[in-house]
């Protein structure tokens, strides 16, 4: 890939079933409409996308078997990346706006979501599911307390959100 030095706000980029080991050619990309990075077995990092500041449509990262981190990005759907062990790349993200989405789904080696600890405001859907190695969600406690009643512990009434400390095993069908 040759380097992109500008935004492609009305464009679609699909990198699917390639032999790419990095996204160095996209290091200058600042904006895109639709972006898919799917089933690239040699891809180990997407850190070269750190200049990307706007994705006006969906951003999918799925089935990249060797992908080990998602440093520098927000508003993602992270799905089926079996080597992914953490989401520390989200560590500076405090807010996810209404035009974004955060989905962390079916990442079999994901053991923690501590990278979400700074998250205090969400104006959209956050979906974290089917990450079977994930055993704790303590890092979401501040966010849940903000949503609930801004105090530690479960909020008042039947709609109070309980503190999150451990994930119970669920039946797999």
**Per-residue model confidence as pLDDT tens digits over 39-87:** 999 998 888 887 776 666 677 888 888 887 676 565 456 777 788 888 8
Report pLDDT for 19: 92
| pTM > 0.75: yes or no | no
Please state, in angstroms and rounded to a whole number, the distance separating the CA atoms of residues 7 and 30. Answer: 5
* pLDDT-based confidence at residue 164 (cuts at 50, 70, 90): low
Residues 89-129 have pLDDT tens digits of: 777 677 676 555 677 888 888 898 888 888 877 777 778 88
Polymer length in residues for the chain:
173
Domain definitions of the chain by residue range: 8-134
d(C-alpha 8, C-alpha 163), whole Å = 42
Any idea which residue has 């927000």 for tokens? 74
């Amino acid at each position: 890939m040759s380097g992109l030095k500008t935004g492609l706000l009305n464009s679609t980029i699909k990198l699917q079933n390639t032999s790419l080991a990095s996204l160095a050619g996209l290091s200058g990309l600042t904006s895109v409409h639709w972006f898919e990075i799917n089933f690239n077995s040699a891809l180990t990092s997407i850190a070269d996308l750190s200049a990307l500041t706007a994705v006006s449509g969906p951003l999918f990262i799925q089935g990249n078997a060797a992908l080990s981190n998602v440093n520098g990005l927000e508003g993602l759907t992270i799905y089926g990346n079996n080597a992914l062990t953490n989401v520390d790349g989200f560590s500076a993200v405090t807010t996810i706006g209404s035009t974004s989405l955060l989905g962390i789904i079916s990442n079999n080696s994901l053991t923690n979501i501590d990278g979400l600890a700074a998250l205090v405001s969400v104006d959209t859907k956050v979906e974290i599911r089917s990450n079977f190695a994930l055993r704790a969600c303590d890092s979401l406690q501040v966010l849940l307390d903000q949503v609930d009643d801004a105090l530690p512990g479960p909020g008042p009434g039947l709609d109070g959100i309980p503190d999150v400390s451990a994930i119970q095993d669920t039946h797999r069908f």
